[in-house]
Structures are given as C-alpha cells and as structure tokens.
C-alpha cells in the first residue's frame, strides 16, 4: 500500500498569514496514463470532508483561490494564503493512483 | 449539485451484520464510481472500498481490513449504493461516509454525505 505522510500534525497560524502543509507518498503517484491522482480535502469540525484540490493543483468548484496545491512525484504541498477563521479544521491528502486509496494522517489547522 | 444521504447506521453486537445505504440525487450517478470511507472516533479517514459503474461491470475494490467481510453494491435505477457489513468487530466502529469518485475529475471524491454512525459493542 502507498503510505501518505503529512507534516506538520498541527499548525497554529495567525489570521491573515500563510500555512503550508506537506504530503509525501511512499512511491510515485504518477499513474501509467501520466496523470497524478492526488487530492486535498478539508474537514471542518463536526463536518464531513470536502474536496479542495484534485490532480495536485486543480481547485474544485467554489474553492477560494487562497487555496493552492503543488508538487510532483512523491512530494506535494497545500498552501493556504491569508488564513481566515473558516479555514480551521483538519486537512488530508489522499491518493487514488493505486488501490487501496490511502489518506494522509491529517494536519490540524488552528488559529493562534 | 449532487447530494448524498447515508442511512442504516446503529448499534450492533460484535460478529453481527449491518447494511448501510446511500441515496444520491443528480442525473449523473450512473457515470461515477461510488466509495465508502470511514472515520473512527477521533481518528483520520480510512477508505473502505468502492464500486465502479456499469460499463466497468460494477467491479469492486476493498481495503484489506474489510475484504471478505464487507460488500459494496449499487442500484442505478434508484441512485443508491450499499455497504453490507458482516462479522463486525469493535474496530469497525466509525462514522461511515459515502463519496462520489468523479470519473471526469481524476476520480477525486467531490461529493460526500454527512455520514452515518456505526457502533459495534455488546
């Protein structure tokens, strides 16, 4: 199975500042079709997960442009710029390049 | 906009069975894979499995932790997907979410239900 490792586990941030979350996979997420099946999800407290980013860097419909994804191969980053109070929650990377689908352990973003 | 609503959760004894349902709204249900993801209390997300669409022969995939005990099916005529859970263990206690894997969007999980809670306890 592909292991997804997220860092940091927790990220206290000041409103208006930027936070970066790293996600590393135990093997390349480039599929034989050349695509990379890496997404980022947000889970606000008491809510189900919500898709933010798909295929590394594509923002899902309705997601503010403060959220951006980057990376390639085994190293990926989610950046949240100009953090707002509504961004509090846990962020997960997830790969579906190979079954089983696997999630990172999550990064908790909280306001200082 | 697709909406997913899970049902069927509850309290079940160890080694018991339970069947979860997920009802989807929207006209493109048939096109997509449908997945189940669970979240144990205070823990992260764990993929349970998925079912492909008709033109992929409804083939399924499962996490090793549930393979042989859990079975996913779907009924495209009612826009529903099901999770049959057998021989339940305390480790299966979790909120179970159904999610759409959008085949037009790199199989990303772009829609989620609110979840249904399964508690396995005597």
Express as a percent the part of chain B with pLDDT over 70: 99
Confidence of residue B59 (pLDDT cuts 50, 70, 90): very high
Mutate to test the interface with A, among B51, B52, B63, B107 (most CBs of A within 10 A): B107
Partner residue opposite B110 with nearest CB, options A1, A48, A60: A60
**pLDDT(B28) > 90:** no
Express as a percent the part of chain A with pLDDT over 90: 100
Phi, psi of A49 (to 5 degrees): -65, 160
CB-based contact, B4 to chain A, within 8 Å: no
**pLDDT(A18) > 90:** yes
**Taking a contact as any Cβ pair under 8 Å apart, which residues of chain B between 12 and 41 contact chain A?**
35, 37
Confidence of residue B1 (pLDDT cuts 50, 70, 90): confident
- Token pair, residue A21, equals 């979350």
**pLDDT at residue B26, as a whole number:** 77
Give bridge partners of residue A90 from the DSSP assignment. Answer: A43, A108
- Token pair, residue A7, equals 């860092």
pLDDT tens per residue across span B45-55? 999 999 999 99
Phi, psi of A87 (to 5 degrees): -85, -5
**pLDDT(A102) > 80:** yes
**Taking a contact as any Cβ pair under 8 Å apart, which residues of chain B between 80 and 99 contact chain A?**
97, 99
Judging contacts by C-beta atoms under 8 Å, the chain B residues touching residue A54 are 105-106, 108, 110
**pLDDT(B27) > 80:** no
Express as a percent the part of chain B with pLDDT over 90: 95
CB-based contact, A102 to chain B, within 8 Å: yes
- What mean pLDDT do residues A2-31 have? 97
**Secondary structure (3-state) at B59:** coil
């Amino acid at each position: 199975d592909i292991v997804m490792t997220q860092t940091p586990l927790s990220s206290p941030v000041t409103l208006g500042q930027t936070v970066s979350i790293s996600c590393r996979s135990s093997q390349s997420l480039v599929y034989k079709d050349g695509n990379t099946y890496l997404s980022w999800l947000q889970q606000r407290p008491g809510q189900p997960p919500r898709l933010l980013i798909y295929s590394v860097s594509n923002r899902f419909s309705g997601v503010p442009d403060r959220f951006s994804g980057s990376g390639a191969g085994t190293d990926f980053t989610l950046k949240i710029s100009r953090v707002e109070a509504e961004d509090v929650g846990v962020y997960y990377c997830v790969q579906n390049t190979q079954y089983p689908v696997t999630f990172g352990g999550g990064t908790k973003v909280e306001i200082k | 906009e697709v909406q997913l609503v899970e049902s069927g959760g509850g309290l079940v004894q160890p080694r018991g069975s339970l069947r979860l349902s997920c009802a989807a709204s929207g006209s493109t249900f048939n096109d997509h894979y449908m997945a189940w993801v669970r979240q144990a209390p205070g823990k992260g997300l764990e993929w349970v499995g998925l079912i492909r669409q008709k033109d992929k022969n409804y083939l399924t995939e499962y996490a090793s932790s549930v393979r042989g005990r859990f079975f996913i099916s779907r009924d495209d005529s009612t826009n529903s997907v099901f999770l049959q859970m057998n021989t339940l263990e305390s480790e299966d206690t979790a909120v179970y979410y159904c999610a759409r894997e959008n085949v037009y969007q790199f199989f990303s999980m772009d829609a989620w239900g609110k979840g249904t809670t399964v508690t396995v306890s005597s």
